[in-house]
A and B are shown apart, each in its own frame.
Chain A
Amino acid sequence: MDWSIILAGLMTAALLVLGLKYVKLKKDVLTFEGKLERNMDALLSGRGPDTTEEVEDTLFGKCSVRMNQIGRIWKQKEEENRASREELKSLISDISHQTRTPLSNMKAYLSLLREETQPDRQEEFLNSLDKQADKLEFLLQSMVKMSRLETGLIQVQMKTSDLCTTIRKAIEEIVPAAAGKQIALYVECPDRLWLLHDSKWTEEAIFNVLDNAVKYTQRGGEIHISVTRQEIFTKISIQDNGKGIALERQAEIFKRFYREPEVHEEPGIGIGLYLTRKILELQNGYIEVRSQEGEGSVFCLYLPESPEQNVENHKTENIA
């Protein structure tokens, strides 16, 4: 008799405690939900979420940190988008302006040519025409590259292949321009260097650096290209003895649409190095520059090693 009363009492007490706990839990969940909703609303309306609890060791504190992060990233993306739209606008007006000049020049030379009877003068005009056509071609090519970049059309396709072949192709492309300026090219590259990379885009990346090297090196200069394998990265270094880059501009040159002030009259839109950097980044690599004004520059392009793939592909190579 006594026992059952005690038992019943205990059970009621236990139930009561559980009930209270349940009520408390429910309240906690509701408060949590309320806070969450308030912060989400704040995020949605573009205000930052409430960050007071970020440094508290609570469940909501943890969520709060992440929400704040989302808010910031959002804001930043918005800002980036706006800035790139502005850039694009100025680029389009810049390009249309730049294309106008060679076009009107070509027209002028054509009409001059029509009236000219002396053969040597005709030859001269034809040469000038040729140059203007080159300028135009260059600008249009740049535009195509640019639009590819903008629409995210650069998609690297990583395959294990010989990096030296890629480098050789880029060098072949630059040979005519280098020969025109009597610039000597020295290449130091092992016979074969298997590396996981996108051959087509990497070639473009290397070519852009070589193109600049030729552009900014005086007649009779030298360009040295070498490849070194490090523990993690494979380094392609391109060294010239050209005019170099002022220290304060060394970070600027990789920015989109950056052009050295001295070459503003030459055709170009300043995307070469920007593109190179992007291409390397897409392959988890990076680029750096060391330069001293008047003495030349060294650009180093780094691509990461990938031992597993390397071995695998070597195998298929052997079988085939």
Chain B
Amino acid sequence: MSQWMVEAKGLKKYYRLGEHIVKALDGVDFTVKEQEFVAIVGKSGSGKSTLLHMLGGLDTPTEGSVCIDGRNLAGMNKEQLTVFRRRKVGFVFQNYNLVQDLNVYENIVLPIELDGRPVDKRFMEEMLDLLKLQEKKEALPSNLSGGQQQRVAIARALASKPRILLADEPTGNLDSASGHDVLGLLKVAAKQFRQTVILITHDMDIAQMADRIVHIEDGKIVKERGLHDEK
């Protein structure tokens, strides 16, 4: 068993754009320990989203490898990747991606039901309490505030007890106060459920809430320099 929850080696992603080659990722080595809460920070176009997509098996690298939970994603076919994502990866996106016709609770348990697993009722109760959704269980997403919708999305991502949780600008659509609150809850929930979390953001204030901050610039990780630059 590898000691890393996430291990990316020499990760490259090149896109062809007419005559040019765009280097979205240009040799990234990146590891995450179990139960770590890591923030990846960078400007738009720095490659941080590409990196997150690779880690979640949503995109394939031009070169290099990604191992999640000791398993190399490169060796998997499309179906295996789908199953892998369903069981091992939880996603939280900027625009919540909730099913509008289902109520809060139905949205949360949807991925578990899709995998044909029984719903762990006690775990659900605990999570609803923790994320302050108990009273909104029956509500439809359209009647919720942005912060509340994102909390539902976080609950949905955690419900299937994934090995890693990937959050792509989760506070991007929220004002800074409720963004901070939502991320605080994510932090508390991750701790409680021993969850590994990788978060990408361009907001230093949000990133500061992580255990570790990784800076990415022009498709490369620039650790130290970036850390002081932002100050």
Contacts and interface: CB of A to CB of B under 8 A. Distances in A.
Contacts of A75: 1
B211 interface: yes
A73 B194 contact: yes
A109 interface: no
A232 B71 contact: no
Nearest to A76: B34
A290 B161 CA distance: 32
A51 B70 CA distance: 9
Interface stretch (B14-22, B81-89, B92-100): B81-89
Given A48-B1, A286-B187, A62 B115 contact: yes
A72 B211 contact: no
B48 interface: no
A285 B79 contact: no
Contacts of A56: 80, 83
Q: How large is the interface on A (under 10, 10 to 19, 20 to 34, 35 or more residues)?
A: 35 or more
Given A55-B80, A230-B177, A247-B231, A284 B192 contact: yes
Interface stretch (A2-10, A63-71, A143-151, A184-192): A63-71
Contacts of A248: 227
Interface in B67-122: 69-71, 76, 79-81, 83-84, 87-88, 115-117
A288 interface: yes
A221 interface: no
B44 interface: no
A28 to B, nearest CB: 17
A247 to B, nearest CB: 6
Interface in B173-231: 177-178, 180-182, 184-185, 187-188, 191-192, 194, 208-209, 211-212, 227-228, 231
Interface string A71-88: 111011000000000000
Given A54-B71, A232-B184, A247-B231, A284 B130 contact: yes
Interface in A285-320: 285-286, 288, 290, 292, 302, 304-305, 307-308
B163 A69 contact: yes
Given A72-B34, A230-B181, A247-B228, A55 B188 contact: no
Contacts of B211: 251
B227 A55 contact: no
A288 B115 CA distance: 37
A232 B185 contact: yes
A299 B138 CA distance: 37
Nearest to A58: B83
Nearest to B189: A284
Contacts of B188: 281, 284-286, 304
Among B34, B84, B163, B181, chain A packs the most CB atoms within 10 A around the CB of B181
Nearest to A306: B132
Nearest to A293: B231
A233 B178 CA distance: 10
Contact of A247 (B69, B70, B147, B227): B227
B81 to A, nearest CB: 7
Nearest to A280: B188
Contacts of B185: 232, 304
A265 interface: no
B199 to A, nearest CB: 14
Nearest to B77: A55
Contacts of B209: 286, 288
A65 B1 CA distance: 14
B184 A286 contact: yes
A57 interface: yes
B215 to A, nearest CB: 12
A273 B23 CA distance: 43
A159 B184 CA distance: 22
A267 interface: no
B117 A62 contact: yes
Given A232-B185, A248-B227, A286-B209, 13 more contacts: A54-B88, A55-B76, A62-B87, A62-B117, A231-B178, A251-B211, A281-B191, A285-B188, A302-B184, A304-B132, A304-B185, A305-B132, A307-B135
15 contacts: A51-B70, A55-B71, A55-B87, A65-B87, A69-B161, A69-B163, A76-B34, A232-B184, A247-B228, A251-B212, A281-B188, A284-B188, A286-B188, A307-B135, A308-B135
